[in-house]
Amino acid sequence: CYFWLYDALVQGDTSEHIMAALLIAGVGAVFAVFLFLLGFSKGRSRASLSTVHGSARWADKKDLIEAGLLPRPGTVPTEVSVYTGGWYDSKNNRLLYLIHGGPEHILAFAPTRSGKGVGLVIPSLLRWADSVLVYDIKGENYQLTSGWRKEELGSIVIKLDPTDPEAFEKGTSGTFNPLEELVLDYGHRETPEPGTWPQMEQLNSGETASIQNLVTMIVDPDGKGLEDHWAKTAHSLIVGCITHLLYVGKRNGRTPCLADVVAEFTKPGVSWRVNIEQWQQFPHLGESEFGPMVHPVVNNAAQEMLNRDDREASSVLSTTVSYLTLYRDPVIAKNTSRSSFHIKDLMNHEQPVSLYLVVKPVDKDRIRPFVRLFITQVIRRLADTMEFKDGQQVKTYKHRLLLMLDEFPSLGRLQIFEEALAFIAGYGLKAYLIIQDIAQLHKIYGKDEAITGNCHVKVAYATSNPDTARYLSESSGTTTVIKEAESLSRDQSGIFGKRNVSISLQEVQRPLLTVDECMRLKGPEKDATGKILTPGDMLIFIAGYAAVYGRQMLYFLDPEFNRRVKINAPLVSDRTIETREGIQDALNALLEKWEGSGDPDEPAIWELEELAALGAIDISKIEIVRDPV
């Protein structure tokens, strides 16, 4: 046929054999094109059918790069990022670490003893280059990561343990007075008519709101709301008391603390009525021709109390003191009498700040009111101002802040998180919340909670909780799979009839990961003592991207991480408040108060001892007599 075509095309031979060959070649070409188009059409139809019941699939390396979990080729990933786990690259036979540096919050489902510390918390703290606030039960994270953060990262490291008996004198832990974060901005203006009482107005309107928010955390230690009558009356009374003491302290040169609030309600030998009447005689806002100008909030709280009979007032007072019982502990009272740092320093100091809120397991429930108060104050103080220029948001902070909160539900319901998670990312705060399972979260926040919806990145280890497994299965999505069905028939002509077998293929829907498969997710391998030896499998979900079937990363299997955790933790907590700032003024005020009363109160003694510990003064020759406990 080839030679016939050659003769026809080159030699010009037009015999009938040559023409037949041309006809055959033409028909063959047309048939080939037809088969190609038919195959293309079927292929395209088959492709469309392959996702008709769902298109969920596991992420590949390209997906991980697009999601920002792996760096793009030729780029260096940001050090202001955390680890979300690992992904096994079967092509290159190695485990790749997955990082996330975006503003989105992270929620991790990790039961106890599942490797959350060695696989998520510690590696992230050994990477994140900006400021951190760590809720550190047992203090393990401080011991393993603070040394590297201080020595090599150059971070200011603060260990805040309110139960540390040597914190105040030896500086082994930081100290924090919540009342020092309150700003007094209540003022008054003179009325145009002489001889009339000055009209009061609040300037900048921040004072009372900040005090009320703080007191809410005191009288609502579990986040259940102020539904009880006694809680509401105690709230009003404590707001008035703190306001009064803040203005008294402003005149005396010493910020009061929560131990002072307890002392105000438990003065020995002084009637509660006489004590509160004195609130209405103090010139909080100055003097006028009519007498002392009493703060309206203080005056109203005092009058509400004075209007009650002795029986009801006694119940209000006992309820009030019960909410402040924690601060009757001498160690906690001392460690909350003065701050060694300001909350604003966490994001606005020249250096990044690493603050470890260390709580011993035995004290976890007892200290919870203070922890809740502190975390709430941090979020309110750091997410209070947003500036814009030329239609664009202007960054008002120097360092982003990572909120690493392990055992998050154990803090009780923190209303600030439900309210603020949706917008605090715009202020430079990134939350990394770790829970055991979704049932634990629902128990505290209810099934209509907003926590999971505001965490766009979710990490999950193997779970034994059916609700969590169901949630993870639904999060993985649905996919389309081919189901093979075989049918058997036999020819009816005799017992030896012909046997017919037909096989049909059907596309059906199924979860990418079933509930049962979620509960059988491979966990880490452990030895007889429970120590993790090899990593288990894990899941990672990022909104808008394919789900990731990953593998745990364990810091102790990485030589660099092992080197970093071996750097010793600091023995002394750093301070961001200058230790000698205003020392002489403070000393003069304390000595004046001592000489005037003949015997200083306990907080005044603490301040003298702190100044002495800093080497500012010598009190070795001063005899300090304490009342017996």
Tens-place pLDDT, residues 21-61: 556 666 666 666 555 555 544 444 444 446 666 778 999 99
Helix-then-strand count for the chain, H and E: 24, 21
Using the predicted structure, report yes or no on whether residue 406 has a pLDDT greater than 90.
yes
Distance separating alpha carbons of residues 596 and 25, to the nearest angstrom: 120
DSSP string, 77-116: --SS-EEEEEEEETTTTEEEEEEE-SS--EEEE--TTSSH
Instruction: Residue 258: name the closest of 134, 356, 374 by CA.
Output: 374
Tens-place pLDDT, residues 73-116: 989 888 999 999 999 999 999 999 999 999 999 999 999 989 99
Q: Name, in order, each residue with C-beta under 8 angstroms of 584's C-beta and a sequence gap of 6 or more.
A: none
CB 605 within 8 A of CB 581: no
Strand partners, 537: 551
Distance separating alpha carbons of residues 208 and 141, to the nearest angstrom: 37
- Other residues' Cβ atoms within 10 Å of the Cβ of residue 315: 15
Tens-place pLDDT, residues 351-393: 999 999 999 999 999 999 999 999 999 999 999 877 776 667 7
Instruction: Residue 382: name the closest of 346, 431, 413, 415 by CA.
Output: 346
CB 120 within 8 A of CB 97: no
Distance separating alpha carbons of residues 604 and 139, to the nearest angstrom: 31
Using the predicted structure, report yes or no on whether residue 416 has a pLDDT greater than 70.
yes
CB 518 within 8 A of CB 463: yes
pLDDT at 288: 79
CB 265 within 8 A of CB 240: no
Distance separating alpha carbons of residues 460 and 549, to the nearest angstrom: 10
pLDDT at 629: 35
Distance separating alpha carbons of residues 192 and 511, to the nearest angstrom: 75
Mean pLDDT along residues 528-535 = 92
Distance separating alpha carbons of residues 272 and 266, to the nearest angstrom: 8
Tens-place pLDDT, residues 374-384: 999 999 999 98
Q: Name, in order, each residue with C-beta under 8 angstroms of 361's C-beta and a sequence gap of 6 or more.
A: 137, 138
- At position 363, the amino acid (one-letter code) is D
Distance separating alpha carbons of residues 549 and 182, to the nearest angstrom: 47
pTM for the model stands at: 0.82
Distance separating alpha carbons of residues 404 and 301, to the nearest angstrom: 38
CA 508 to chain centre: 41
